[in-house]
Structure 1
């Protein structure tokens, strides 16, 4: 089943048990098929033929319907394809064909996610997820974009791509496409259908959803009001640190032109905007919505939280090459296969009929290159984090919703969800002037107003409150146009023109070109609020709230071009100081731990008179420094510890340089202490709805006394669900929270009441001492009592799980499709951002999903790596053939020029005109 795709249904225990029984039966059949495919027992002969039938043809020639001329597909030793054609239509037709060869299962599941049709593939267990995604309406908006907004050239390219995918599918059964279809075919009668251009466009909506910004923070802050006062909430959401540099360090809105000018004097910061008492009495709905958000597919990252990225560009003035160097590593959820697909798209001769000569990272299922370079420019992305979503609380009745004292009718539509092996379901989606009612999809709403079944009776819920989502991505836009425009851009002017169309998701775009220029642009459709600052839900029943008709004009969004400092760093920090800029981008920036580390290291190199090399850029991507360790360890070492076993662990921190290498025992122990500091100081003080739901702790048995010296004596106590998003995750916001109270020994956050056999804690040092003891016990259970065997990597592991059939089920199924674990260094808010959630444990939950260093102008000396490999076929040599090198921080040579590609080619397939 796809990951995280079963939303709360509110159904009876009997129905739940029935679903589980059916799921177990399906999984049994799938496991049997995969055992055969893997060559287990008597099925070995059949398995080899089945596996090989789905592998792509990579040599010789084959006909491709619709081509106007021959196309060459050249693959290197890692299976990475470079495509050469003479027309745009042939180029994108071939791209669709080749991506379908390697990744069609992934593409097919992805389009079913984005259109809310997972139930067609996987059955009734996905109905609730489909219902939520239909309510969001990704596919509906994508259809509107294709029909009414996108340029004719973009639509032509999308059609060519779809034709290439369908040419690959023609005449093939499921087992000819991938092993997963062979397995799925024994559980239902699902068969792949033709690809459409809208299938490609819809993927950008999923990308926008997972990079949507602060929706969870809105919910969390609102829930906090039930237990915390305004000052306490402020403590947990501190101001952006003054010593962390924003991306753009000067400029403002020119008072004459009304446009952003990097050299203009600041025109004043944002004014005060508040939404008082907007959430009184509706925490039930918000808590339910939070649970629902946790359950829908996280296609790119952990549901909009913790998603970051690094990118930076250095002017040739400061590089060893004399040309700009550009680095990028987006941080996303680990996926197998990787979200990214490396590829080159080359016109043999760039002309009016064939406009592209570009290479980089693509999305399977979508034409063009997302991140990379062409013959003139290079570009990279990080998440800007703009606040592009607002939750509105609506007063509703069966007749409609309240707005300025009158009842307005809902805009409603009926959706039919087809279910593999079952009966179709119907849902009704209701919308207000602020967007669709997300709360209609939450089982908890049965507790509010009149009770009604979740799926079928939304219009009959009765009086009460509801929660609507206003989101910029629910309006048709031009982001697909921007992809092709970026691929064709020749200079900063055409780059900015393309960026103007990259409306959702809002991304930081860094830039470099062969003329030696570097730049930055903040694009995106970012709303202008009438009142409120986006940090809390707003009252939907009043016209005083809501958004202006037009968003912030593109000409007013910050940018830089050849800044005097000679480099630009974006790592999800603030774009520009609030006191220099009048428009509200967000109140919930990342807090800049990674960006400041990158800035400091680059500046140190430049001030020392050194030149930055490609190797330097690569090494910086692997920097494991822990900023919070540098703050806390000196204080931890001052604390007298009498318990011998805890003192033994404390000694690990003596002389530690705060780098989180995989083999570091000190890093393991410190991160254990950090996790326990957060649990003690903040965890139990959050409202009931927000406490961790899957946290595991290690405690002594009730009969035990004294220090724990035997891991077998520890008891593991675990919750039943994943940690709540609001629980302290250990990221750089929590760095700032703790640093702000670090010198206040008697701050209330350090105080913990007595509980059971545990004495009360009355000061910071008492809490730190308790955390050091708890961490010693926890790591003893995890790693053993001999601290000489401890290492951070043994705690901090990455397992790559196939995003569909590898997420649940018996171990044989998981062994067939999944890979790992790997021991990793790095950590949350390190430059080498192998993220973990302190509320749930140490497992890696997001990663640098790829890494690249572009040597601008001398393209063949660029380097790149993917998290997994080119292939989505589980038994292919290219399934995870880049992962070991990725773990070690290595990069592959990235050939781009015709000579470079020829030199690295091991297989050539010619696609011929019929």
Structure 2
């Protein structure tokens, strides 16, 4: 979650609108001076400064907490991870809110301003456009509706108790008492934190759903490609899922024709087939390109523009484990954030009863009560992103009076939003909605220019006045997902787990399960639309006709796939297809992950079982760090057969001889191969995509010397290209591109391998010529980055992770960034490896998504479970728990995870008692 699902969002761009650089520099200078004072030289010399100390949480002694019915104990281990003990649900969640606010309130406050479209209140005019877009989406509006009309009374009580705990912590505190960031912000802004509300917590689920929304970017990209590529070429770039090669999650079962429900043991009926109808709108280049740019400006909460969002999770039956009980592993792949997306915690009722129902531990989101991923006394569960297609873009015919629908003009549903701006005047926007959702085009000057020609064949060609772009999205309908969080926390068996999953509507996740009785299971939940006319959801469609829309009701929960104790004895979910589309009647999506990671996990587990060797907790942990590159195994034998005359390139080609395709941090072969892979993609595909989809970024050029390296269109030698924000449609190097290349790999003369002459570079006529050019280009690219001596090359020097503090750690002078940010770390792993330290071939080699946490749950013997976080428990930049888990995380280590009363007592180093006044 989540994955595919929080501490802070990605760093927010705090620059003001209108190019007011002088004011921005002055503001940053003040912040730098403040941080210099509180951090000291090397940010360690002035730890006693009151501004820093004031924001640190009290972790020993006692504090009176208004509203408690009894005392609550907060026990922290030597990593600052809290375990809370209470006697009522209300006390438990009130304490959770208090403790999370102690460690993470700045992050919580920024997040709630983002989800409600109120960043401008904190950071000024530079956030008005972002706020306008988020107000148009209406996350906060839908969250309020959920709270008012959908959520159960127990859920609302828990949310209120949590909010009360947060507010008890805030009471009487100034900004400097909350965090260093507030101290800095207070010198340039009169912003004061307001009280927390239950809806602040619910709104975060909408933010999660946005980043895990599925194939919206692919939908845009396919439409942009129509301006330059044929349908066949687009099909080449979006191949069908390889079901025969990479197994789906569920390999048995079907919808029973008698009961109408999914039955894991049923045989599929004949003639189901797949839904392959094309979308009906093409030629919308301007508006869709502008929408893609707009999406890039929205701060990514879980990953860069929703790309690469994935996760691993697998469970093995006790029949095949050394413990005799199931083992369950999970590691969601999300954007690297500081502090981490996750907050580790235990929530324990001293005695489980009707008045105190929880004894659970795991990974929580700061700002939301309950545990998201983890276990209770009976079951364990993990999440990965299902990737269901839950969004569609609709082109609307509009006028001042409304929008066209089946030949009639229908009035817009409109509302006015006021955006308050720190240090400036408030702005007002009008949000207009059609039956297909809000008009995203109202937030973009380019999107307002939709079409100049009359529509043809139900299409709305480029730049026609009187058209707009609307978003239809399942998350914009109020639901019960917050109920599901508490229900999963209380579940005792697979039946109650599935009942809870039925309420987990957005974001749609793969839910993995194990229990102390030895059962394992899987459930695909979510509100997934049923499209009309066999539409496959891969391209935008016309909104002015009822022919292209959604059925009133989504796919019924009882018809969604699940498994329970499958014969093979294990279940793997890693964002691959859920079930073969030829055996399942409903469309879940056409844009799965392509299964490279999932199949690697399947193969390694199956191989272990075939040998009769039992799988241990250590084996599960080791598998999480598997660095194998599936595409290297396909390409390297062919690369080694190519005759290379250039001695410098031949030297690097030799690095691949005897390489085992593992991408360790110290591997020179991994560095060179990934450089070759990146250049293969750029030569074969990147330069052939429409101009709207080209990657942008500055390069440093020098005049070329014969044989010295790649040149650009003007014949200048490209010596160094900076990290750039990649365009989503450019080849990112993920497993979709594995499939694209493998499908044409044995066709030496395929048109994709052909490249016309450019500058001083000769034309390329076949695969081996392109591979030879890619090897040469990679040699000189990596020489510029790593030096001439290939014996000093390593993948980790290219593939680095830097953790950036949200907001103030992204921009500004070096002192500011050094004070708040941490790193870099040289990492192994890579794109589509099990150890998925993701990078994007369109933008460089730096790490842009990571296993945001890792856990291995030893079901039944809970204290032998293990876990790790990307950073640490604290969001305070100078706390010893800010990044105290990161080194171990980078090395693949896990911490002991205490759960039982005895285990927690044995690992406790600090105890705080929250007392009833």
TM-score normalised by structure 1 residue count: 0.96
Are the aligned partners of 2:250 and 2:579 in contact in 1 as well (CA < 8 Å)?
A: yes
Matched residue, 2:481: 479
Matches within 5 A, 1:213-228: 213-228=214-229
Matched residue, 1:426: 428
CA-CA distance at 1:554 after TM superposition: 0.2
Sort the Cα spacing of 1:708 and 1:728 in 2 relative to 1 into closer, same or farther, 3 A: closer
Matches within 5 A, 1:639-788: 639-694=642-697, 701-707=702-708, 715-716=718-719, 718=721, 722-788=725-791
1:637 aligns with 2:640: yes
1:604 aligns with 2:607: yes
- Provide, for residues 714-765 of structure 1, a one-character-per-residue CA deviation record: whole Å limited to 9, x for no partner: 6546589622100000000000000000000000000000011010000000
1:829 aligns with 2:832: yes
- Cα distance in 1 between the residues matched to 2:417 and 2:296: 23
- Cα distance in 1 between the residues matched to 2:719 and 2:784: 9
SS of the aligned residue for 1:69 comes to coil
CA-CA distance at 1:804 after TM superposition: 1.3
Matched residue, 1:262: 264
Matched residue, 1:455: none
SS of the aligned residue for 1:555 comes to helix
CA-CA distance at 1:439 after TM superposition: 1.3
- Cα distance in 2 between the residues matched to 1:552 and 1:24: 52
User: Which of 607, 625, 628 is the matching residue for 1:625?
Assistant: 628
Are the aligned partners of 1:2 and 1:805 in contact in 2 as well (CA < 8 Å)?
A: no
Matched residue, 1:408: 410
Are the aligned partners of 1:269 and 1:581 in contact in 2 as well (CA < 8 Å)?
A: no
Matched residue, 1:159: 160
Sort the Cα spacing of 1:258 and 1:449 in 2 relative to 1 into closer, same or farther, 3 A: closer
SS of the aligned residue for 2:54 comes to helix
SS of the aligned residue for 1:657 comes to coil
SS of the aligned residue for 1:756 comes to coil
Are the aligned partners of 2:709 and 2:718 in contact in 1 as well (CA < 8 Å)?
A: no
Sort the Cα spacing of 1:707 and 1:553 in 2 relative to 1 into closer, same or farther, 3 A: same
- Provide, for residues 17-59 of structure 1, a one-character-per-residue CA deviation record: whole Å limited to 9, x for no partner: 32x2222221111111111111249997697211111000000
Sort the Cα spacing of 1:469 and 1:268 in 2 relative to 1 into closer, same or farther, 3 A: farther
Matched residue, 1:817: 820
- Provide, for residues 274-305 of structure 1, a one-character-per-residue CA deviation record: whole Å limited to 9, x for no partner: 66573234221111000000110100111221
Matches within 5 A, 1:276-315: 278-315=280-317
- Cα distance in 2 between the residues matched to 1:579 and 1:166: 53
Q: Structure 1: which 5+ runs fail to align?
A: 10-14, 451-460
Sort the Cα spacing of 1:46 and 1:313 in 2 relative to 1 into closer, same or farther, 3 A: closer
SS of the aligned residue for 1:247 comes to coil
- Provide, for residues 619-661 of structure 1, a one-character-per-residue CA deviation record: whole Å limited to 9, x for no partner: 0000000000000000000000000000000000000000000
Are the aligned partners of 1:36 and 1:44 in contact in 2 as well (CA < 8 Å)?
A: no
- Provide, for residues 147-190 of structure 1, a one-character-per-residue CA deviation record: whole Å limited to 9, x for no partner: 00000000000000000000000000000000000000001100
1:112 aligns with 2:113: yes
- Cα distance in 2 between the residues matched to 1:43 and 1:568: 47
Are the aligned partners of 2:274 and 2:582 in contact in 1 as well (CA < 8 Å)?
A: no
1:840 aligns with 2:843: yes
SS of the aligned residue for 1:57 comes to coil
Q: How many residues align?
A: 893
Sort the Cα spacing of 1:263 and 1:8 in 2 relative to 1 into closer, same or farther, 3 A: farther
RMSD: 1.9
Sort the Cα spacing of 1:714 and 1:905 in 2 relative to 1 into closer, same or farther, 3 A: farther
- Provide, for residues 398-425 of structure 1, a one-character-per-residue CA deviation record: whole Å limited to 9, x for no partner: 2211111111111110000000000000
Are the aligned partners of 2:273 and 2:583 in contact in 1 as well (CA < 8 Å)?
A: no
Are the aligned partners of 2:117 and 2:131 in contact in 1 as well (CA < 8 Å)?
A: yes
Matched residue, 1:131: 132
Matched residue, 1:495: 497
Sort the Cα spacing of 1:311 and 1:721 in 2 relative to 1 into closer, same or farther, 3 A: closer
User: Which of 880, 905, 908 is the matching residue for 1:905?
Assistant: 908
User: Which of 356, 366, 369 is the matching residue for 1:367?
Assistant: 369
SS of the aligned residue for 1:430 comes to strand
Sort the Cα spacing of 1:865 and 1:269 in 2 relative to 1 into closer, same or farther, 3 A: farther
Are the aligned partners of 2:709 and 2:776 in contact in 1 as well (CA < 8 Å)?
A: no
- Cα distance in 1 between the residues matched to 2:605 and 2:795: 27
Sort the Cα spacing of 1:439 and 1:644 in 2 relative to 1 into closer, same or farther, 3 A: same
Are the aligned partners of 2:223 and 2:283 in contact in 1 as well (CA < 8 Å)?
A: no
Matched residue, 1:453: none
SS of the aligned residue for 1:728 comes to coil
Are the aligned partners of 2:279 and 2:540 in contact in 1 as well (CA < 8 Å)?
A: no
Matched residue, 2:884: 881
Sort the Cα spacing of 1:193 and 1:7 in 2 relative to 1 into closer, same or farther, 3 A: closer
Matched residue, 1:522: 524
- Provide, for residues 75-109 of structure 1, a one-character-per-residue CA deviation record: whole Å limited to 9, x for no partner: 00000000000000000000000000000000000
- Provide, for residues 433-491 of structure 1, a one-character-per-residue CA deviation record: whole Å limited to 9, x for no partner: 000011111131354479xxxxxxxxxx9942211100000000000000000000000
Matched residue, 2:467: 465
Matched residue, 2:341: 339
- Cα distance in 1 between the residues matched to 2:766 and 2:64: 75
- Provide, for residues 180-226 of structure 1, a one-character-per-residue CA deviation record: whole Å limited to 9, x for no partner: 00000001100000000000000000000000000000000001011
Are the aligned partners of 1:105 and 1:178 in contact in 2 as well (CA < 8 Å)?
A: yes
- Cα distance in 2 between the residues matched to 1:858 and 1:426: 57
CA-CA distance at 1:396 after TM superposition: 1.2
Q: Structure 2: which 5+ runs fail to align?
A: 1-7, 453-462, 711-715
1:859 aligns with 2:862: yes
Q: Which moved more, 1:320-329 or 1:803-812?
A: 803-812
- Cα distance in 1 between the residues matched to 2:127 and 2:364: 28
Are the aligned partners of 2:720 and 2:784 in contact in 1 as well (CA < 8 Å)?
A: no
Matched residue, 1:535: 538
- Cα distance in 1 between the residues matched to 2:49 and 2:11: 32
- Cα distance in 1 between the residues matched to 2:370 and 2:395: 40
- Cα distance in 2 between the residues matched to 1:816 and 1:267: 62
Are the aligned partners of 1:326 and 1:378 in contact in 2 as well (CA < 8 Å)?
A: yes
Are the aligned partners of 2:304 and 2:335 in contact in 1 as well (CA < 8 Å)?
A: yes
- Provide, for residues 229-269 of structure 1, a one-character-per-residue CA deviation record: whole Å limited to 9, x for no partner: 01000000011112110000010000000000000111356
- Cα distance in 2 between the residues matched to 1:825 and 1:174: 40
1:584 aligns with 2:587: yes
Q: Which moved more, 1:187-196 or 1:47-56?
A: 47-56
Q: Which moved more, 1:776-785 or 1:403-412?
A: 403-412
- Provide, for residues 584-623 of structure 1, a one-character-per-residue CA deviation record: whole Å limited to 9, x for no partner: 0000000000000000000000000100000000000000
Matched residue, 2:458: none
- Cα distance in 1 between the residues matched to 2:214 and 2:350: 41
Are the aligned partners of 1:714 and 1:781 in contact in 2 as well (CA < 8 Å)?
A: no
CA-CA distance at 1:669 after TM superposition: 0.1
SS of the aligned residue for 2:769 comes to helix
Matched residue, 1:441: 443
